[in-house]
Structures are given as C-alpha cells and as structure tokens.
Structure 1
Amino acid sequence: MTLTARYPLTLRRLRRPVLSLARVGDQALFSVKALAYAPFAAVHHRRETIRLIAEISMGAGALAVFGGTVVIVGFLTLATGGTLAVQGYSSLGDIGIEALTGFLAAFINVRISAPVVAGIGLAATFGAGTTAQLGAMRINEEIDALESMAIEPVSYLVGTRIVAGMIAITPLYALAVVASFVASRFTTVFLLGQSSGLYDHYFTTFLNPVDLAWSFAQALLMALTVLLIHTYFGFHAAGGPAGVGLAVGNAVRTSLIAVVSVTLLISLAVYGANGNFDLSG
C-alpha cells in the first residue's frame, strides 16, 4: 500500500501550503504578463478598450440605468460622507467642539473614506462582472478559440481591461471625492444647522492638496490591484457554471482584503508616525 493511500488526509494537509504558495507565484506571473501586455492592448485593441471604458463607468444594457460603477460609487460615497458628518458632529458636540466637523470631512474623506469606498465599489461592480465574463468565456472555450486564431488572450481580454480601468478610475474617483465632500457639507450645514462659513473655514484650512494627490495615487493602485485579482480568477476559472460562481466569490473576497491592505500600507508609507498633520494654532 502506498503512502498516499495509507495517509491521504495527512498528505493533503501537507500539500495545502505548497499549493497555496504555487498559486501565489502563478498569480504574480500572470500579473506581470498582464501589465506587460497592457501597452500593446492600448495600441492594437483601441475599440475594445473604449467599449470597456464605457462599460466600467456606466454599465452595460439594463445595468446602465442603476448599476454602473459611477452610480454605485456615487451613492456609496454620498452615504459615507453623510454618515461621517452625522457621527462627527454628534461626537464632537459631546465635548463642545462640533465646529471641527469640517476638519473631519477634509481629513477622513480624503485619507480613508473615499479611497476605501471607491475600491469596494469597483470590486463589487466591474471587478465581479469581469470575473464572471472571463470565467464564462473560459468554460465555453472562447479563450481557447482566441488562441486558435493567433490572438493573445491575455492582451485582448486582460490588458484591455487594465487599460480601461486605469483610464476610468481617475474621473470616477474624482466623482467619489466630490460626492463625499458635498454630502458632508450638506448634512452638516443644511440638516444639522451649522454655519456654512464656520464649516467652510475649517474644511478649507485642513484640506491638504498633498493628501488629495496621495489619495488619487492610492485609488489608482487600488484599482490596479482589484483588476489584476479579478482578471486572474476569471481567466483561470474551471468547473462549469459552479466554478465561475466560486471564482467570483474568491475574487471579491481577495479584492476586499487587498483594498484595506493597500489603504493600510500606503497610510504607513506616506503618513507613518508623523501623519503630515498639525492641529495647533
């Protein structure tokens, strides 16, 4: 009797870390290949890239009315900005400094709230859709058909989506930041009754353009990470329709972890112990 037949459970547990490490390496190689093909896709597959930009921003078909990434991210950031204003005004009011609600809107929206919400919205809309699309193409052998026609599938399917996502994320994130600022100001001034001049004074005082630039850089890196994760899981889906659903679930879980991890790492790298912040004066 072989060792595999005698101790199947033990050997399976021993192989699990090795297989996990192999998957990490495979995903890293796939990401490098996709990034290498992205410039080629931008030049030679312009029509597909433009179509994907429209699909990312406004959605496709019936989803264009209410399910596009612009709509989802807009609603999420509006709700987050309003909640931040309500909680900030109430909590600061307990110690008599509710005038600093504008400071919270300028500080937390830029550094934490808007990037995380935009990343989650991108993963839940375009990311999940990308995994499902590529997974369906894989199990229907459409990716193999592209290879048979001498079309590089990573360039046509993955590179175009990366280029489209990086182009669409900048105006999309600008909309998210503006929506969070508008929601915070509207809630604080019109619903909670704070003076508009007082709110605007603290908001403009603590809105740091450098922080805003780092926030955009964080959103770009977050979008690139989400796109690489979802395209990998979709491109390597297997097991029929059930396998596609499993790939979508794994991709969404992984991308959500990546979103908060990118936020943490960039916050540590950019702000660190100093924080680039001074409340004195």
Structure 2
Amino acid sequence: MVNLIRGCGRGWNQIGLQAEFYFRTLHSIGDAALHYRKEVLRLIAQMGLGVGALAIIGGTVAIVGFLTLSTGAVIAVQGYNQFANIGVEALTGFASAFLNVRIIAPGTTAIALSATIGAGATAQLGAMRINEEIDALEVIGMRSIAYLASTRVIAGVIVVIPLYCVGVAMSFTAARVGTTAIYGQSTGVYDHYFNTFLNPTDLIWSFVQSITMATVIMLVHTYYGYNATGGPAGVGEAVGRAVRASLVVAAFVVTAMSLAVYGQSGNFNLAG
C-alpha cells in the first residue's frame, strides 16, 4: 500500500513538473522570437530540409510527402473497391475530400512530425544535457528554456504549415491518380464529387489541427530532451518515451478537435 501511494505521488509530481515546463516554454515564446531570431531561422531550415545526407532527399518535406502519398493511395484502393461493391464507385472522390482532410492527413502528419522533427529535437537536447552544455548556457546567463525549447516550438509551428500543405496536396493527388489512372474512373466524375464535398471550412480546421498538434508534439519532445539523464543510453530512452507520449497526445488532440468541430452535426450534407 505504501509503495502504491509513493508511486502515485511520483506520478503526480511528474505531471506537475511537465506542466511547469510547458507553461514556462509557452511563456518564453515571445522572448525567444524577440532575442533568438537567428536560432529560430536556423531551426526552421534544419527541420524543413534536414542536414547532411538527409538534405539531399528533402528531409522532412520528402518524408511527409511520401507518407501522405501512401495514405492517399489507400483511399483510392480501398474507397474504390468498397464503393464498387454497392455500385457507387463514383463516390471515391467524396471519400478523398472527406477522409483525407478530416482524419487521414492530420494523423499521418502527426506521425511524421513525431518521428522526424520531434525525435531530432529530443536527441539534440538530450545530447546537450548529458554533455553539460545546457548547464553551461545557464552559467553564462542564457535563458535555456527560451533558447532551446521555445525556439523549437516556434520553428515546429512555422515548418508544419508548408509541410501540411505538401501532405494534403500529395494525399489528394495520390487518391485522384489512383482512382482515374489505375482504376479507370472518369476524371470528370471524380472531380465532380471531389469538388462537391470538399468543404473549405474543413481545410481551415484541418490546418488548425496540424498547428495544435505541432505545438503539443514539440512541447513533449523538448521536455524529454531537456530533462534527459543517464548518458547516451538515457538519450535513446528519452527519444523513445517522447515519441510514444507525443503519438498518444497527438491522437487525443485529433480525436478531441474532431469531436469538438464535427461532433454535433458533422458539417456534412449528402446533397448537391
């Protein structure tokens, strides 16, 4: 019983420490944007295009593009076949306009952000922590949370906007090409149902989802990297814990925002 109480107490303290770090990071965003603009620009370039050999293939842009390309192709394959079973394969364009924007593109982008930008941020901060570089920054008077965590949150939110544009465009393109070029559906029929059911408001909410997920993912990853312990093995453990936590939180954000936006009426009208 005593061990259970102690475990609950440690868990509660951990939640409090995380909440304090997130509050301090968000509170320092203005300070980071004002005093550490060069660091923000450097992180934007690094997150968007990658460094070293990764920059040759386009870095995170290429990864997000290929992931959403594959999910868009799944819409074409599964949507066309399932609709064809009941004789309404013309509605494949509706499936692309409806599912890609509301569920598939945000979820896929969250996975890509967590596995690339987020994991990289955790590894960088963890390496700085075990090499005592963060302690050195604090000794010379640098605001370490603003310089290391807040700048990465700003960069992640800025980078996710063009990344999400690429992801949505690739998912739409893959679904259209798969349905029309591979399955032979008329492009006019596909475009008619796609344009009929593609709601601009849904796209706006989808972008809001992506920005919220980017903020949450970067907060989680910077926390685990900033507080990494245990040497190189501890950094690897921190990356794993951060990816697991960010994926869970991202799924919760997608679900909660979808219920908040579409939960009552669904913003859907089968007409037109």
Q: Shorter-chain TM-score category?
A: over 0.9
User: Which of 244, 247, 251 does residue 253 from structure 1 map onto?
Assistant: 244
User: Which of 100, 110, 113 does residue 101 from structure 2 map onto?
Assistant: 110
Report the CA distance between 1:273 and its aligned residue.
Answer: 3.0
- What does residue range 197-208 of structure 1 map to in structure 2 within 5 Å? 197-208=188-199
For the residues of structure 2 that align with 1:14 and 1:273, how far apart are their CA atoms?
41
- What does residue range 78-157 of structure 1 map to in structure 2 within 5 Å? 78-157=69-148
Letter of the 2:235 counterpart = V
- What does residue range 199-218 of structure 1 map to in structure 2 within 5 Å? 199-218=190-209
Partner residue in 2 for 1:227: 218
Partner residue in 1 for 2:67: 76
Q: Could you report, residue by residue, the CA deviation over 1:33-75 in whole angstroms, capped at 9, with x for unpaired residues?
A: 0011111111211111111001111111112123711111000
- What does residue range 32-51 of structure 1 map to in structure 2 within 5 Å? 32-51=23-42
Letter of the 2:106 counterpart = P
Q: Could you report, residue by residue, the CA deviation over 1:147-201 in whole angstroms, capped at 9, with x for unpaired residues?
A: 0110010011011111111111111111111111011101001111000000000
Partner residue in 2 for 1:15: 6
Partner residue in 1 for 2:271: 280
Q: Could you report, residue by residue, the CA deviation over 1:104-140 in whole angstroms, capped at 9, with x for unpaired residues?
A: 0000000000001011100000100100110110011
User: Which of 36, 53, 64 does residue 44 from structure 2 map onto?
Assistant: 53
Larger Rg: 1
Letter of the 2:196 counterpart = T
Report the CA distance between 1:217 and its aligned residue.
Answer: 0.2
Report the CA distance between 1:16 and its aligned residue.
Answer: 1.4
Partner residue in 1 for 2:157: 166
- TM-score with structure 2 setting the length: 0.98
Partner residue in 1 for 2:170: 179
Q: Does 1:26 align with 2:14?
A: no
Letter of the 1:107 counterpart = F
Report the aligned-residue RMSD.
Answer: 1.0
* Structure 1: gaps of 5 or more residues: 1-9
Partner residue in 1 for 2:54: 63
Letter of the 1:114 counterpart = A
Query: Higher mean Cα deviation, 266-275 or 200-209?
Result: 266-275
Count of aligned pairs between the two proteins: 272
For the residues of structure 2 that align with 1:91 and 1:110, how far apart are their CA atoms?
20
- TM-score with structure 1 setting the length: 0.95
The list of structure 1 runs, each at least 4 consecutive aligned residues, that deviate by more than 4 angstroms after superposition, is none
Report the CA distance between 1:227 and its aligned residue.
Answer: 0.2
